[in-house]
């Protein structure tokens, strides 16, 4: 079979897996739709959050900006990594404890202010649209390469897939599809990282290899810059 046919088969299996998870985890109540019923384990939540971080923005765009900008491009990586940590430590626990479904609801009730709620809504919309635009562009590029369609068609396919399983499972379905995505992405990240580290520095652990020297005696970070 041709590479293109294998690509269609693998993409089809992935879609079937996501739709299967959405049907299995379909929401049966408002609480399940918005906050997955509060029954998702910390491990699964962590995997889902990591998958969100390792999405098109980092998997495609971050590789591109480091490739073009060199070592200076890694500043962007540290920026939104730090943002995720701050969000997880300073906001998420209190949002969960407060029992609200959205950040604007939490801020509005916490500060007893409809003005604060409105500002939070506007900020959430701006951030969401900006992030989704980048994500959908990444989806369109990936589908255009693998499915041999134009970028616009790729974006439409990606949006349709997300729309279907979001409607079926809500936050519960999205969380578990993110867990599946995490397993795929962490494998796709780690395999090349491990083998590049072995080939260039002899270390099987990439984090150690990053501080090591290559065959000509220079540090790997200097070589990569």
Q: Please state whether the predicted TM-score (pTM) of the whole model is above 0.85.
A: no
C-beta separation of 194 from 204 below 8 A = yes
- Give CA–CA dist 176/5, Å, rounded: 28
- Give CA–CA dist 96/37, Å, rounded: 11
pLDDT above 90 as % of the chain: 5
Each residue's pLDDT tens digit, 36-91: 666 778 888 888 888 877 776 676 777 778 778 877 777 777 777 787 788 778 87
- Give CA–CA dist 208/205, Å, rounded: 6
**Most confident option among 77-81, 115-119, 146-150, 174-178:** 115-119
Burial of 85 (0-12, 13-18, 19+ CB in 10 A): exposed
C-beta separation of 22 from 173 below 8 A = yes
Tokens 């300073």, residue located: 90
Q: At residue 210, does pLDDT exceed 80?
A: no
């Amino acid at each position: 079979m041709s590479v293109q046919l294998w690509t269609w088969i693998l993409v089809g299996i992935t879609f079937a897996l996501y739709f299967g998870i959405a049907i299995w985890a379909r929401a049966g109540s408002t609480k399940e739709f918005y906050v997955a019923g509060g029954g998702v384990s910390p491990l699964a939540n962590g995997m889902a959050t990591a998958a969100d971080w390792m999405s098109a923005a980092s998997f495609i765009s971050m590789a591109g900006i480091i490739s073009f900008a060199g070592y200076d491009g890694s500043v962007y990586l540290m920026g939104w990594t730090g943002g995720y940590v701050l969000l997880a430590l300073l906001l998420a626990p209190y949002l969960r404890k407060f029992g609200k479904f959205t950040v604007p609801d939490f801020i509005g009730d916490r500060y007893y202010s409809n003005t604060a709620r409105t500002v939070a809504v506007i900020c959430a919309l701006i951030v969401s649209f900006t992030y989704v635009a980048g994500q959908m562009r990444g989806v369109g590029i990936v589908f255009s390469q693998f499915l041999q369609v134009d970028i616009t068609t790729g974006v439409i396919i990606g949006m349709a897939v997300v729309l279907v399983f979001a409607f079926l499972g809500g936050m519960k379905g999205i969380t578990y599809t993110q867990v599946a995505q995490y397993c795929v992405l962490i494998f796709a990240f780690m395999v090349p990282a491990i083998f590049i580290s072995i080939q260039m520095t002899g270390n099987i652990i990439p984090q150690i290899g990053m501080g090591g020297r290559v065959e000509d005696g220079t540090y790997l970070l200097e070589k990569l810059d």
